């Protein structure tokens, strides 16, 4: 290198130090062309192949993600529809149960009322029968007492026929009034 600088200095020529010589430019262009052809036909196709493979893989993953997202949205919609259906069925079952409970309650009340009415009727019949039996027993007793009283009155008042007839008549009238009341 010092030789080149010394030669430059001796020659006195004005040479541009930034420009290489023509031979250097030629051989540099040949090496650049060879490297360009090598990269253009060997490296660039492999690079494009790798880029295309990555692009296809990414697009495939995106398509799979979109498909999974669509399936998830579909399943979510199905689940929501099933939940709505289950809620509607639950409400229907609850309404049916309430209606059945109300019907069963009404039936129980109706049976209880019918049972109470039947018991009341039976009790009324028993009361009527007891009253009729008491009236019959009372009449029989009154009849016996009337016969005894009449016998006692007849024995005591044989002297006064008119007075005894009045007493017996008033007693019989009294019995008739009592009998018509019952």
Joined tokens for residue 15: 């040479």
Quickly state the pLDDT bin for 115 (edges 50, 70, 90).
very high
- How does residue 175 score in pLDDT terms, banded at 50, 70 and 90? confident
List, in order, residues 6 or more apart from 178 with CB less than 8 Å away. Answer: 142
Say what the pTM is: 0.38
Dihedral of the CA atoms 84, 90, 94, 95 (nearest 10)?
A: 40
pLDDT above 90 (res 19): no
- pLDDT per residue over 28-87, tens digit each? 999 999 999 999 999 899 999 999 999 999 999 999 999 999 999 999 999 999 999 999
Percent of residues, the chain, with pLDDT higher than 70: 82
Distances (CA, A) of 5 to 21, 28, 124, 168: 14, 22, 151, 187
Query: So what's the pLDDT on residue 159?
Result: 57
Residues 6+ apart with CB under 8 A from 168: 150, 153
Q: Residue 40 gets which letter from DSSP? A: I
Task: Pull the structure tokens for residue 11.
Answer: 């020659």
d(CA 104, CA 144): 59
Query: Once rounded to an integer, what is the mean pLDDT over residues 134-152?
Result: 80
Question: DSSP secondary structure string, 58-76?
Answer: HHHHHHHHHHHHHHHHHHH
Long-range contacts of 17-21 (CB under 8 A, 24+ apart): none
């Amino acid at each position: 290198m010092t030789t080149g600088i010394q030669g430059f200095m001796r020659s006195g020529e004005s040479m541009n130090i930034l420009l290489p010589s023509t031979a250097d430019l030629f051989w540099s262009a040949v090496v650049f062309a060879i490297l360009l052809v090598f990269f253009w036909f060997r490296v660039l196709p492999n690079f494009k192949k790798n880029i295309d493979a990555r692009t296809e893989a990414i697009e495939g993953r995106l398509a799979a993600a979109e498909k999974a997202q669509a399936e998830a949205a579909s399943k979510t919609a199905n689940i929501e529809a099933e939940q709505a259906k289950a809620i509607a069925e639950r409400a229907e079952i609850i309404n049916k149960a309430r209606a059945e409970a109300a019907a069963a309650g009404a039936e129980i009340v109706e049976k209880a009322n019918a049972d109470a009415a039947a018991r009341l009727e039976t009790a009324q019949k028993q009361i009527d029968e007891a009253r009729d039996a008491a009236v019959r027993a009372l009449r029989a007793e009154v009849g016996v007492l009337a016969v005894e009283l009449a016998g006692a009155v007849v024995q005591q008042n044989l002297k006064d026929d008119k007075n005894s007839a009045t007493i017996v008549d008033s007693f019989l009238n009294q019995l008739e009034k009592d009998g018509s009341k019952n």
